[in-house]
Amino acid sequence: MITASAPGKVYLFGEHAVVYGEPAVPCAIERRATVAVEERSDGRLRVEAEDLSLDGFTVEYGETAGESPDVDVSPDLVEAAVGYVDAAVAQAREAADAPEAGLDITIESEIPLGAGLGSSAAVTVAGIAAATRELGVELATTEVAERAYRAEHEVQEGQASRADTFCSATGGAVRVEGENCRSIDAPDLPFVIGFDGGAGNTGRLVSGVRELRERYPFAADTVGTVGDLVRQGERALVEGNVEELGTLMDFNHGLLSALGVSSRSLDRMVWAARDAGAYGAKLTGAGGGGCIVALDPTDETETALRFTPGCEEGFRAALDDQGVRVE
């Protein structure tokens, strides 16, 4: 049996705009998804999932056309929890030239599902790394990232970017613009995260931005402005100018709100962080619910979030310089 883990992430800047070729800067955080894989001889898949914002479940299924997991949870949750696993397994089988390999897969995660912290990317990256190792193939980190992107691209029906999977595979802060992905230097940023206990529908939110962008020229301009902001933010990051980073995060949140991807709970948490003296705060990920990220070296924002209506949890999350690793 092989076990691998990969980190979640927050976006300093650039979510949604990155889908249209604009740059984005996600940063890996020290919350991880762990996937253990053991080969089995009957060609079937067995998936046991824990801590994915679900009550936990186990499903077993094979490769018969149209066959799907038989489990007593909603179809949407099954799709969210198992779809990325299926795509990761397909990539691992292809890489190992083992199209009929059966696998026992156990997933544990510290990352809330669908909350904007890169849970699906972390599970996909860790799953591919563990499954290929179990099947006798060791992939370079860059190939793990590429195959994880292909898996997300398939599940998200062509609307995924390389940002989440590349960041989870390599760790640290990264810059993604189209197919150009690279690590960048970053100081030890004082991340504070607020979580409203919910999850946005990534596909619907991405489609909503796409519709606005196609309907209104100024919405397309807004997406381009996010890209300009990311370029300015990258300079501030290299300089270690945390105050400037915070100001630009505030701008980015405003632009994302204008594109319709914020929510009342996310806005409440953003304003609580700002009122507590954070350098800046914004939603992270697709939006619609989930998480915000703030920059604050003091305890004030974390305290304020605990007393904010709609905030289920506030916590610190250090930058994680390690990407995917075999445990």
Residues annotated as part of the active site: 164
In angstroms, how far is CA 84 from the centroid of its own chain?
12
The answer to whether the beta carbons of residues 215 and 224 sit under 8 Å apart is no
Instruction: Quickly count: other Cβ atoms within 10 Å of residue 312's Cβ.
Output: 15
Pull the structure tokens for residue 297: 């070296």
**Structure letter (DSSP) for residue 19:** G
Number of H helices, E strands in the chain: 9, 12
Tell the burial category of 158 from Cβ atoms under 10 Å away from its Cβ (0-12, 13-18, 19+): exposed
The answer to whether the beta carbons of residues 86 and 128 sit under 8 Å apart is no
Q: Measured between alpha carbons, how far is 182 from 8 in angstroms, rounded to an integer?
A: 17
Helix or strand or coil: residue 26?
strand
User: What pairs with residue 57 in β-bridges?
Assistant: 49
The answer to whether the beta carbons of residues 169 and 181 sit under 8 Å apart is no
